[in-house]
């Protein structure tokens, strides 16, 4: 009898610990974190290269009735070339200045959305690319409404890279000519498991399992849903995969399975010495030479 009580007590303690750690994970990593930076401050680097007359703000409504915000930067001359730039975790569209400059100087109009739960967009949770990929598809169609002749490249960084890879597995309009991902993860589950190990020395079970259960009911998706490798297996859109060889946040080892799984036309670029999201600064000449040659194959 005493043994049964001990087993029940142990099971109860384990369940309670699982719930507490799962809730902690959800609160720390999935819930929105306020960004105190005002848009006016973040716009300053953009206005140094783009006239304020060529900058407008756009809004769309998501499939689940969130108001999502983006900034649109148009070329002074008529151009049907567009880059949609998708930011990473805890960032916002206006934080993509380095990438916006490179595409803008190459003749592209820019659309830089704030993902749900970030910046000026609504949302109480972070989508890890899953719900976000549906939002990006809505932005694509919003852009096509503006210019039916648009030729579009999708570019994503980190979580944004995972997002554009998830986009690649869904049916897309022919206006989307190619996709570039820089340091994206194979799946949200794998990335969170990596961070649990690195930051807390914990295994995925039971923390991620309980977090998944919480997310299913509160956020209406799970970490296993946000699976980039499953999506690139269905892609028919040409894709460039970029990763820094010294990336330990989204491990460099994630590049190989993503690239090998992709069934589309593809190319990859590895940058020696580059950490997470540092490829553009580690080797800027090679980085932009590769990107420009890649997009020029598909967009005139």
Question: How does pLDDT run across 169-182, given as a tens digit for each residue?
Answer: 999 999 999 999 99
What's the pLDDT score for residue 21?
61
Q: How far apart are CA 207 and CA 22, in angstroms?
A: 5
Give the pLDDT confidence of 144-159 residue by residue, as tens digits.
999 999 999 999 999 9
What's the pLDDT score for residue 193?
96
> Domain extents for the chain?
35-187+226-298
What's the pLDDT score for residue 29?
84
What's the pLDDT score for residue 26?
84
What's the pLDDT score for residue 34?
85
What's the pLDDT score for residue 91?
96
**What is 224-286 written as a DSSP string?**
TT-BHHHHHTT--S-EEEEEETT-TTTTGGGHHHHHHH--SSEEEEEETT--TT-HHHHSHHH
What's the pLDDT score for residue 37?
85
Q: Which of 186, 214, 215, 211 is nearest to 200 (CA)?
A: 211
Of the chain, the percentage scoring pLDDT greater than 90 comes to 84
pLDDT surpasses 50 at 10: no
Give the pLDDT confidence of 82-128 residue by residue, as tens digits.
999 999 999 999 999 999 999 999 999 999 999 999 999 999 999 99
What's the number of CA atoms in the CB half-sphere (13 Å) around residue 264? 24
pTM, entire model: 0.94
Overall average pLDDT of the 218-226 stretch: 96
Overall average pLDDT of the 203-230 stretch: 93
What's the pLDDT score for residue 47?
94
Round the average pLDDT of the chain to a whole number and report it.
Answer: 93
Question: Hey, what CATH topology would domain 35-187+226-298 get?
Answer: Rossmann fold (3.40.50)
Cα 133 to the chain's mean position, in Å?
8
Q: Which of 201, 205, 176 is nearest to 189 (CA)?
A: 205
CA distances from 184 to 48, 106, 201, 259 (A): 29, 24, 23, 11
Q: How far apart are CA 227 and CA 190, in angstroms?
A: 9
pLDDT surpasses 60 at 15: no
């Amino acid at each position: 009898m005493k043994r049964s009580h001990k087993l029940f007590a142990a099971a109860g303690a384990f369940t309670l610990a699982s719930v507490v750690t799962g809730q902690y994970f959800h609160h720390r990593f999935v819930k929105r974190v306020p960004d105190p930076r005002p848009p006016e401050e973040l716009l300053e680097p953009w206005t140094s290269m783009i006239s304020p007359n060529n900058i407008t703000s756009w809004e769309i409504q998501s499939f689940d009735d969130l108001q999502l915000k983006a900034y649109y930067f148009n070329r002074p001359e008529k151009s049907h070339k567009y880059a949609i730039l998708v930011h990473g975790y805890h960032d916002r569209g206006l934080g993509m200045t380095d990438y916006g400059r490179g595409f803008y100087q190459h003749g592209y109009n820019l659309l830089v959305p704030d993902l749900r739960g970030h910046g000026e967009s609504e949302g109480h949770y972070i989508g890890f690319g899953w719900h976000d990929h549906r939002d990006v598809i809505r932005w694509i169609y919003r852009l096509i409404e503006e210019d039916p002749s648009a030729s579009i490249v999708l570019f994503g960084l980190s979580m944004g890279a995972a997002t554009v890879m998830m986009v690649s597995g869904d049916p897309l309009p022919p206006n989307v000519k190619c996709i570039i991902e820089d340091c994206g993860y194979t799946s949200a589950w794998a990335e969170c498991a990596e961070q649990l190990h690195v930051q807390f020395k914990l295994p995925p079970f039971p923390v991620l399992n309980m977090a998944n259960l919480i997310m299913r009911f509160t956020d209406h998706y799970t970490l296993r849903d946000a699976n980039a490798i499953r999506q690139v297996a269905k892609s028919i859109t040409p894709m460039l995969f970029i990763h820094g060889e010294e990336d330990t946040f989204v491990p460099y080892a994630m590049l190989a399975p993503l690239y090998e799984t992709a069934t589309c036309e593809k190319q990859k670029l590895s940058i020696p010495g580059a950490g997470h999201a540092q490829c553009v600064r580690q080797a800027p000449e090679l980085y932009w030479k590769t990107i420009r040659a890649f997009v020029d194959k598909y967009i005139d």
